[in-house]
Structure formats: structure tokens, C-alpha cells
Chains A and B, each alone.
Chain A
Amino acid sequence: MNKIIRKMPLNPTVTLMEIEAPLIAKKAEPGQFIIVRSHSDAERIPLTVADFDREKGSITIIFQIVGAATMRLNSLSAGECVESFVGPLGRATNTEGLRKTAVVGGGVGCAIAYPVTKKLFEQGTEVHVIAGFRTKDLVILEDEFRAHSSSFYAVSDDGSWGEEGLVTDALKKLIESGEKYDEVITIGPLIMMKFVCALTKQYGIKTIASMNPIMIDGTGMCGCCRLTVGGKTRFACVEGPEFDGHEIDFDEAIARSRMYASEEKKAREEACRLMKMGEEAKA
């Protein structure tokens, strides 16, 4: 059982939770993730570490309320506990020797992009951040990114925040203008990462993509999170979650992410119904 110290909505569908987890906070590094189970009968879901405080002994997670599991997690309030909270899992992002990088985040993926951005910036790497959101209302962590980057580029699908367009447009413009990156780090929806990687491949810029496949145990036991990278089967939980973006079979990863689409839809509807009933009962 781990206590929720702080809970804050970042936008209508994204929540931040700071959770008491001193052992994990001692070890966590950017790029790693935890597995959380909100209730004793809930699913185990992987969430990337969005921040950690070693002194306070806390881990921050940021999640989008997309399905039954995240709806139930979001139903908990500060002061309550999550049933289990395990980690840190996966390998940390390698930031050594990087002089200049571009971090490309999309949507709630920006939450995951933030700790590595902060680490790069604090170690003296020149960091260009490109953050993309569908629309202004969904923007998260803008101040944090601005404070921890050398340059910050905002883009939105509808032009309500920053420039109108896609993150790939912004990245292309920077590369074309002569910016020379040692590495591009991309975190966001699979389809976005696929196109970021396709773009950087044209320019021969090494690109790391952070994958978030379906997982159960998170320790390598089940193989549910497997991906094809460079023609080989790799387990995201123990060998990832970050891989060379030019080697990842994104189409396969996209197909696998939809394996339980119909079951998830049903579970979401059921969770909505139950929560509505709960609210009505309270009222």
C-alpha cells in the first residue's frame, strides 16, 4: 500500500499523482517506469516515472484517463492509498556524453519527456524541446519545460497554442535550419513516434523512442510487452522501454496495442456506469 500525497488535475483528462514510495524514489532515474495497481482487484498498469524526490521519498506519475484502470486510479484522492506500486522498472535513459539534443513529446507523453529533459538540461546539455498537443486545453507542464530547456517550441493541431502543425513539422524546420543534434528523444503516441523516427532517419540522426506496450508483471516473465526491434524480439520491460527508433517495427507495435480494444471498450463503459451509480448514490 502506497499513500497518495498529492493529486492534481493537469487538464480534464490528465492527472498528476505524487505517491509515497521511498525505496523507489531512492533509485528511480528518468526513463524508468513503475507498475501500479489501484485496487486489490484492479489491473496492473505500467506508468513512466514523471518525477521523483529522493529526500521526500516520493514518485510522481502523470496519467491520461483512458480506460477502466486509469478511471479507477483517478477515483482515489490524496490521503488514500494505491494497492501496489512497484519499481523502478526498465532501463534508465542514457544521457551520457550528449551535447545537444531535441526532445519531442506528444500529448501525455510530455509527462514522460519531462524528467529526461530536466536531467539533460541540468547536466549542461543543450536541449530543444518540441511539445505537441491537440489543442490548448490539453497542454501540460509548459512552465516546467520552459524552465528546463534551452529552447521550447509549442505546436498544436488546431493552432490554439504555439504554432499550428505537427511536431514533425517543427523538428524538420529546426534540422533544416542547421541545428545539429547528437540525438533525438521522442515520447508520445506510437503514430507520432513512427513519423518522428521516419523523419530523423532521412537525416541520419540517432533517435531514441520510449515505448509503452501492454504489460502485466513488468519483470520479464510474461513477454506481453514484446516488440520487434532490428528484426529481433525484445522485451520492453527489462530491455527497454527505450529503443533505437530506427529499428522499431512501429506498425506491429500499433497493431499489438489494439489487442484488447474491444475488451477495453466494454470495461470502460462498465466503469463509467459504476462510477455514475456511485456518484448518484452519494448525491
Chain B
Amino acid sequence: MAAREPKKHEMPTQKPEVRAHNFSEVALGYNEELALAEAQRCLGCKNKPCMQGCPVNIDIPEFISHIKQNDIEGAYSVISKSSSLPAVCGRVCPQESQCEHECTLGTKLNLEPVGIGRLERYVADQHRVNRTGTAEHPAPNGHKVAVIGSGPSGLTCAGDLAKKGFSVTVFEALHAAGGVLVYGIPEFRLPKSIVADEVKILEELGVEIVTNVIIGRTVTIDELFEQGYEAVFIGTGAGLPNFMNIPGESLCGVYSANEFLTRSNLMKSYLDNSATPIKKGGRVVVVGGGNVAMDAARTALRLGAEHVYIVYRRSFDELPARKEEVEHAKEEGIDFRILCNPVEIIGYHNENDPRDPKNGFVKAVKCIKMELGEPDEKGRRRPVEIVGSDFEIEADTVIMAIGTSPNPLIKDTTEGLEVNKRGGIVITENGLTSRSNVYACVDAVTGAATVISAMGAGKTAAKAIADALCGK
């Protein structure tokens, strides 16, 4: 047998200089030849270490063995047993720290791991193209469950329950289903047509999706129980965006990443004929180092910014974003200013002309350089300011991508729902809250998570709900 290829097969992408000016998908996906070749790299380990690294426990060696035989529908049915959103996960999961991190090629043979995410994406995309007919509608088991929020956790929970015959209604506050997959993650990383297709498959399974209803306001959780729902899953997502509480954060031109991305993605501000405005062009400073910061920076670039900075207070090693996104951002020309933190946003103020239209808009960001000190409780080295090192970056737009805090809407309108000091809902490891038959996802608890961890939580809760309602 020929020596195993040491590296993953590269996935074709749009050239950086081209894609920096369009919103089409960056990564183009494997073709059949590349997918079969990459599948051949899998050792098919009996102990399946990769599966342990997957938050939704997909039987990875099994689905790859189907690809080896070019049985793509077979591979799809293996994945779909565990994941309701394979086309999404193949694109947005941080595989390098999950399944691929555990791959024997990497851990034992010092080679690059199998490109599991790329193969998952290939399978899901082929299935989208080849699919005929509709998903089978399982026989109803007579139980009714309400899911709040149609993001990754809600869709996963709904999908898992629907496959078991539960009658599931998903309530969505916005006008489109998908949660962060539609308002947060940009088109160039996750085309919205893919999200729409995944949602359609769930509807074929019998999931009912009701948009424009805000649980806690339009209808309360107690009223859902009165309407005959036997269990409720809270998958309301991230919540209120954090700001730094530095001077100038309310100037015109300062956005939370949630706002900037929602305008562009959900409200389609990136299209010329969109009714919802967004500030385009100029110099843009994005604060933060997560996936959301990368998405905001790359969106700003595509909207026509002259120069986009990412300001992050730690070093490249601590950058929490998915590796591929950081690489893509660098290739596109995003200017990373690491070990650097904003201390003030300076506004434009024309003393001679109070009617100057630029008054009240951002002019610059004052930053201070940082160095890494002692490790904090999570083991990450704490950034410390270097006294006297402050400097200014000229800017027209500033985007704060520094996380979110729990949304108070549901806790304020649901009696007996225990919350922690930060306002996050308290849950057990099965996702159960202090109210019986009310379950919640982790990010309703902590304020933020990745798509896949939210899906994992949706899955855990679905199992717990099924066990509770049908008996173990």
C-alpha cells in the first residue's frame, strides 16, 4: 500500500483578492475525486477516537467508509442519525479542536488529521443535490413539545424529537428561521440557502416553525403549558451584546458585532437595494478575537472598507476563532493588531460648526499595548497594559465583538426559573432548569457558545425530554 499522504487535501477556495469583494462562499468544497482521495486517508480505527471529539457523536469512521465506496447517501444516513445540520457543521465547526484533534493520523503518526469537516460538508452538499422526494414523517407518539428559538440548539432539539414522533413547534422571534445561522454567520461562510434547506428538511419531518413570536412577551412559558405542550426547550441563544464601558462607545459608527452582522446578514444590507442601511467603506476597527470578530471584519471588508483592523488583547496563540477563519482573514488582508486593547473611542467634533454632519461620528480609536502576564483561572495568560504605550488608530466604524450576556426576557416573565448571578439560567447536565419539564441550552446559561456546542446541548435536552415524557 502506498504511503499515506501526510497532509489533508486542500479544499479549493475563491482567490483572496477576488473573494474580498464578494459575498459568495469562500471555500468551494471537495469534488468527487478529492473527497474519495481524502476518505482513503482514514485508518478506520476500531476505537474511533474522533467520535469522542464530536459534541454530537457522529460515527465518523462509519460515514467515511461509505465515502470510500462512493456511497454518499449511505454516508449521509450515518451522519443524519446524529446531526440535524450536517451541511452547517461541515462548514462552521471548529474541527481542529474537536474530531480532527483526536484523529490517530495526528495523535500517533504525526501527520495532518483526516479532513473530517470537509468530508462531512461534501456528503451533505451531495445529498442536497441528489435528494429526491421528502424526508419521512415519523409516526406521531402523541406528545407535544415547544422549542424556543430556531438556532442550532433549537433546530437540533426539534429534529431529534421529531424523528422520535414528537409533535414539535419551534417559536422564533425574528422573521426568518435559523437564529445565528441567518443573522450572525455571513453568507460567504454559510450560504443562507443551505440553512433554508436544513430547515425545510425539519419541516418535512413534521416540525412546525412559527416566526414572529417572542416567548416571554407574545406568549409566556406558562401559557405554552396551558396550550398542552408537555415540555419546553429554551434555545434563545446568546443575548445582549457586551460593550467595554469605555468612553465614546455610543458615538455614531460604533456597532456591536450582533448589530453589524444582523444588518448585513438578516436584513441583507450588503445588497444594493436593501432597505436597511449599514455604514460601508472607510476604516474599520473590530475589537475581539472570536469567530464573530472574524465574521464582522471580513463582512466590513466585503462592504468596501479601505482598511480593516482586528484589535485583540492577547496574542495569536490565544485567538479563540476557528483556525481556518483566521487564515482566511489574513489572506484577505485583515490587519491584526494583537496584544492591544482599546481604551477610548474618539469622536469627531467641529467646534466652529455645530451642524457639521460628521459631528458625533467616530474619528479614531485610542488603544494601549498589552503584554501577557500570569495565567488566569482558565490557564490563559492574563493580558496586562503597558503603561504609556497608547496610540491612536484612525477609524470611521468600530465593531465590538467581545461576547454577550444572557437575555433577561424569559427569566423576567417565567416564575420559578432559577438564574445565576450573571442572569444565566441554571441547568443540570441534562439541560433541565429549576422548573419541571423546562430545559435550556448552555448559551442561555453562559451567554455564548459555538454552533456545535449549542447543537450538542439541544441533543442532550432532546434525549432528556424524550426520556421524561415517554419513560426510559
Contact = CB atoms under 8 A, between A and B. Distances in A.
Interface in A84-103: 84-89
B275 A43 contact: yes
B216 to A, nearest CB: 9
Residues of A contacting B: mostly: mixed
B214 A89 contact: yes
Interface string A151-165: 000000000000000
Q: What are the 9 A-B residue pairs with the smallest beta carbon separation, nearest first?
A: A255-B360, A263-B277, A222-B259, A223-B256, A259-B252, A223-B241, A43-B275, A260-B277, A84-B175
Given A86-B212, A220-B239, A68 B217 contact: no
Given A222-B256, A255-B359, A216 B240 contact: no
Interface in B364-415: 407-409
B126 interface: no
A127 B280 CA distance: 48
A87 B212 CA distance: 8
Interface string A204-226: 00000000000011011111101
Nearest to B408: A238
B357 A262 contact: yes
Contacts of B211: 84
Contact of B218 (A88, A217, A227): A88
Given A86-B173, A221-B238, 15 more contacts: A23-B213, A41-B274, A72-B275, A84-B212, A89-B217, A216-B276, A219-B173, A219-B409, A222-B241, A223-B240, A223-B258, A226-B243, A227-B250, A233-B249, A256-B252
Contacts of B266: 216
Interface string B258-294: 1100110011100001111100000000000000000
A88 B217 contact: yes
Nearest to B218: A23
A114 interface: no
A129 to B, nearest CB: 28
Given A23-B219, A233-B245, A238 B259 contact: no
Interface in A237-283: 238, 249, 252, 255-256, 258-264, 267
Contacts of B360: 255-256, 258
Given A216-B262, A233-B250, A87 B218 contact: yes
A262 B277 CA distance: 10
B218 A238 contact: no
B466 interface: no
B419 interface: no
23 contacts: A41-B268, A41-B273, A41-B274, A44-B267, A44-B276, A72-B275, A84-B211, A86-B213, A87-B217, A88-B218, A216-B266, A219-B407, A219-B409, A221-B237, A223-B241, A223-B243, A224-B256, A228-B250, A238-B409, A258-B252, A263-B277, A264-B277, A267-B277
A37 B71 CA distance: 45
Given A43-B275, A223-B258, A86 B218 contact: yes
A69 B268 CA distance: 15
Interface residue tally on B, bucketed by range? 35 or more
Contacts, number: 115
Interface string B55-99: 000000000000000000000000000000000000000000000
B174 interface: yes
Interface in B323-366: 357, 359-360
B214 A86 contact: yes
A224 B259 contact: yes
A238 B407 contact: yes
Interface in A170-222: 216-217, 219-222
A256 B255 CA distance: 11
Nearest to B359: A255
Interface in A37-56: 37, 41-44
Contact of A216 (B218, B263, B359): B263
B253 interface: yes
A100 B458 CA distance: 51
Contacts of B218: 23-24, 27, 86-88
Chain A interface residue bracket vs B:
35 or more
B465 to A, nearest CB: 24
Contacts of A267: 275, 277
A44 B269 CA distance: 12
A137 interface: no
B253 to A, nearest CB: 7
A219 B409 CA distance: 8
B277 A256 contact: no
A89 B174 CA distance: 13
B173 A217 contact: yes
A219 B214 contact: yes
A222 B262 contact: yes
Considering residues B256, B273, B275, which has the most beta carbons from chain A within 10 angstroms of its beta carbon?
B275
A99 to B, nearest CB: 28
A261 B252 CA distance: 11
A169 interface: no
B262 A221 contact: yes
Contacts of B174: 217
Nearest to B180: A221
Contacts of B275: 41-43, 68-69, 72, 267
A145 interface: no
Contacts of A42: 275
Contact of A259 (B175, B249, B253, B408): B253
